[in-house]
A and B are shown apart, each in its own frame.
Chain A
Amino acid sequence: MLLADTLGPSWNIITDIQELWSFPFMVNAFRAGSVIAVAAAVMGWFMVLRKQTFAGHTLAVVGFPGAAGATLIGVGAAYGYFAFCVVAALVIAAIPRGGQGDYGHESAATGTIQAFALACGFLFIALYKGFLNGVNALLFGTFLGITDDQVLVLLGVTTVVLVVMAALGRPLLFASIDPTVAAARGVPVRALSVMFLVLLGAAVAEASQITGTLLVFALLVMPAATAQTLTARPALSLALSVAIALAVTWLGLGAAYYSVYPIGFFVTTIAFIPYALAQLVRRGQRVRHRRTQLAGSSA
Chain B
Amino acid sequence: MTVLDALGHPFFANAMLAGTGIAAACGLVGYFLVLRAQIFTGDALSHVAFTGALAALAFGLDPRIGLFAATIAIAVLMGTLGRKGVADDVVIGNIFAWILGLGVFFLTVYTTSRSTANGSAGVTVLFGSIFGISSNDAVTAAVVGATVCVLTVALARPLLFATLDPAVAAARGVPVRLLGLGFLALVGACTAEATQAVGALLLLGLLAAPAGAASRLTTRPYRALGLSVVLAVADMWAGLGLSYAVPMLPPSFAIVAVAAGVFAVVLAGSAARGRTRTAVA
Please list the residues of chain A having a beta carbon within 8 angstroms of any beta carbon in chain B. Answer: 1, 48, 51, 53-54, 56-57, 61, 96, 98-99, 101-105, 107-116, 118-120, 122-123, 126-127, 132, 135-136, 139-140, 214-215, 217-218, 221-222, 225, 260-262, 264-269, 271-272, 275, 279
Contact = CB atoms under 8 A, between A and B. Distances in A.
Contacts of A120: 253
Contact of B40 (A107, A118, A214, A261): A107
Nearest to B122: A136
A107 B108 contact: no
Contact of B108 (A61, A112, A214, A260): A260
Interface residues of B: mostly helix, strand, loop or mixed?
A: helix
Given A136-B107, A225-B90, A103 B37 contact: yes
A64 to B, nearest CB: 9
Contact of B208 (A115, A132, A267): A115
Contact of B253 (A98, A108, A109, A119): A119
Interface residues of B, number: 63
Contact of B256 (A54, A105, A115, A135): A115
Contact of B97 (A102, A114, A268): A268
Nearest to B250: A126
Interface of B: 33-40, 42-43, 47, 89-94, 97-98, 100-102, 104-105, 107-108, 112, 119-120, 122-123, 126-127, 199, 201-209, 211-212, 215-216, 248-250, 252-253, 256-257, 259-260, 263, 267, 271, 277, 279-281
Contacts of B263: 108-109, 112
B259 A112 contact: yes
A97 B37 CA distance: 14
Contact of B43 (A1, A57, A215): A57
B244 to A, nearest CB: 15
A132 B120 contact: yes
B98 A104 contact: no
Nearest to B111: A136
A116 B239 CA distance: 13
A225 B33 CA distance: 24
A132 B253 contact: no
A215 B98 CA distance: 9
Nearest to A110: B39
Contacts of B127: 122
Contacts of A222: 94, 97-98
Nearest to A141: B104
Contacts of A119: 202, 205, 252-253, 256-257, 260
A126 B208 CA distance: 24
Contacts of A126: 248-250, 253
Contact of B211 (A61, A108, A271): A108
B98 A268 contact: yes
Nearest to B248: A127
9 contacts: A103-B37, A108-B215, A111-B43, A122-B127, A122-B202, A126-B250, A215-B100, A225-B90, A265-B104
A138 to B, nearest CB: 11
